[in-house]
Structure 1
Amino acid sequence: MISFTKINDDNILTAAEYFKYKISRTSDYTIGAMYMWREFYDSSFAIYDDMILYRVKFLNRTSFTFPVGSGSLEKAMDVLKEYCQINNLPLWFCTVPEEYVPTLVDRFQGTIPAAPSRDWADYLYLAEDLASMAGRRYSGQRNHINKFKKLYPDYRYQRITPDNKHRIVDFLIDYEKYHSKDASLAREELKRSLELMPYLERFNLPGGFIEVDGVIVAITIGEIVNDTLYCHIEKAIRDYQGAYQMIVKEFASDMTTQYGIKYINREEDVGDEGLRTSKLSYHPIKLLDKYCVLLP
């Protein structure tokens, strides 16, 4: 029987070797997301026949993510069925990308996919759209950006480096004290963001920040897998009007120029109405649905 190991900073890079096999652009198979939320979802993994299998606690039940890798999907499914039978568990899969649902339904008779939750859908954008924000549909975003430039003409955008990373840590600590939301999930995110900071170079996570008169007013940290940039962390001080729009545009432009990315995934809104309004205002090309699927 397979044995699952808790995700930690020593083994997550081994797990990340399998991310290149994913065909979806959802954010769940990324180092940043896996590491940040490993405790929240009680995440662990096993490698079997060149496939990676994740076990998590999702919606208060033990669930698994869709196996990815170069091995046999049938063998991976068989070993998961055996694991669930021995442990008296239903075989639930969570956050299954839309692309994988037909595979489960076609190959495993009696498979039941549940309707996707809107709260967990990822927002996918064309990278060039966010880098340029051209056209009438982005006029509102450009108004905020132009306001920021007018108020703070000497602002600077910089990449996060080992030499300035301590300033980002200080920003997040102050943000937690003075600017964070009261929602428990938002506070959890800030806590996990600080946990991620020591590993930016090790996990190869690019980031950027904007400062005004020597004060950091916005930061962002992402991750590139294949042709897609995933934005794991994005914070700005709202007192600086347009700071959020500026960091979105500057980071998208920087990453598009440097790495030639085609898409940007700005992840879920988890049902937060403010986040939903904001993410929709940047005009995603698609909402990436994720499914919970029960195998008989």
Structure 2
Amino acid sequence: MQITKERDNINLFEEIIKKDPNSSRPYFKEITIEDREILNPYFDLVDYEACEYNFNTLYMWQHAYKTAYYVGDNFAVLVGEYDGEVFSILPLAKKEDLPKVIDFVLDYFAQIEEKLYFRGITEEVVDYLKEEYGDRFEYIAERDLFDYVYDGEIMRTLKGRKNSKKRNHINYFLTEYNGRFEYRLLGKEDFDDCRALLDEWTINKEENDNIEEGVDDERSGIEKLFTHYDQICDRLKIAGIYIDGKLEAFTMGELLNKNMALIHIEKANPEIRGLYPYINQQFLVHEFPEVEFVNREEDMGIEGLRKAKLSYHPCKLVEKYTVREAN
């Protein structure tokens, strides 16, 4: 029965993104790189701190979630498909326009004869929905999807007793590889080196029975950013560390808002002690020297990843909720 429901909803999602000139229902277009110039102004309208509210994030994962968008009167609505169900994330609109846009989303789900399903909703909007709609919705805190946010200056300096282990690892790296490494921004000419590092990183995960769910989707997303780097390099920064002429670590990030950096990707040779904390620190020192906060995204419920993210002592977590219309 569940399989049939999922198939029905997948067919429904295909109908949503199918342009029908005879239908009055809003048409949602699948996100492509060409939509960047259309959507970025709407992302710039908001100051959401969750990693989903960024064009490159959605574009990276579009193939996994089939993300599509609709632009209305001073707002944009984004929908996707997850586990066979259609969902929406928080609309992109000024705060004063959010009530009317949420009504638009409610109306839309009614048109497609589905109960409202929001993912990645912030606590502030949950409070608004509770106040306006009472018991109409149920709210589920998705701990595995909470983003980790850190104090930017502490991440750049690693000062304080609680960061002594990170400093020790970095000092070991600096001593062991003195004169043998180079940190620098990367360009298209370096992407083959990134691919080779990704191959080695994946093999290492497989050999240790620790391959992460979604690694293929992540690799596909990285390739999309490489392919269209000329179009996104005004915002996205990619940096790496070469040791003895070989790329051993690279990372990608950009500004999520004027006060927060967002780190999309960080990969390094795990056999080189201190390399992960060093590229983490140097990327912020060189490319984001002024940001107050750093968002390093979620842990997806992966135990090792959660431990690593907690080891940097986040100053806050960006709570995200699933909101469903009650039965």
- Aligned partner (choices 231, 254, 263) of residue 286 of structure 2: 254
- 2:97, 2:48 → 1: CA distance? 18
Separation in 1 of the partners of 2:137 and 2:287? 39
**In structure 2, how many angstroms separate the alpha carbons of the residues matched to 1:285 and 1:131?**
14
Aligned to 1:210: 241
Letter of the 2:127 counterpart = P
Tell me if the contact between 2:106 and 2:116 (Cα under 8 Å) persists in the aligned partners: yes
**Aligned-partner SS, 1:252:** helix
Paired position in structure 2 for 1:4: 28
Tell me if 1:159 matches 2:191: no
Deviates more, 1:63-72 or 1:211-220: 63-72
Any idea what the Cα deviations from partners look like across 1:92-151, whole Å, max 9, x if unmatched? Answer: 111101222122222334342423121100000011111110111101111111111121
What residue in structure 2 maps to residue 119 of structure 1? 144
Shifted more, 64-73 versus 30-39: the winner is 64-73
2:47 counterpart of 1:15: no
In the aligned structure 1, how far is the partner of 2:217 from the partner of 2:200? 15
Equivalent in 215, 220, 226 of residue 197 of structure 1: 226
Greater helix fraction, Structure 1 or Structure 2: 2
- Consecutive unaligned residues of structure 2, counting only runs of 5 or more, are 1-24
CA RMSD of aligned residues (A): 1.9
The correspondence for 1:99, drawn from 103, 121, 124, is 124
Partner Cα distance (1:20, 1:74) in 2: 19
TM-score by length of 1: 0.92
Task: Give the equivalent residue in structure 2 for 1:172.
Answer: 198
Mean CA deviation greater in 35-44 or 155-164: 155-164
Residue 177 of structure 1 and its aligned partner are, at CA, apart by: 4.6
The alpha carbon displacement at 1:232 in A equals 0.5
1:86 aligns with 2:86: no
C-alpha displacement of 1:242: 1.3
Higher mean alpha-carbon deviation, 138-147 vs 63-72, is at 63-72
| Distance in 2 of aligned mates of 1:90 and 1:133 | 47
Secondary structure of residue in 2 paired with 1:18: helix
SS at match of 2:266: strand
Flag the 1:69–1:202 CA change in 2: closer, same or farther, 3 A: same
Listed one character per residue, the Cα deviations across residues 57-109 of structure 1 (whole Å, up to 9, x for unaligned) are: 23542111111224733432333223212211111111101222122222334
- Cα contact 1:101–1:113 (8 A) shared by 2: no
Question: What per-residue deviation string (whole Å, max 9, x for no partner) do you get for residues 42-67 of structure 1?
Answer: 21110111111011123542111111
Q: Distance in 2 between matches of 1:74 and 1:231?
A: 31
Distance 2:129 2:83 in 1: 21
Kept in 1, the 8 Å contact 2:75–2:101? The answer is yes
Matched residue of 2:254: which SS? Answer: strand
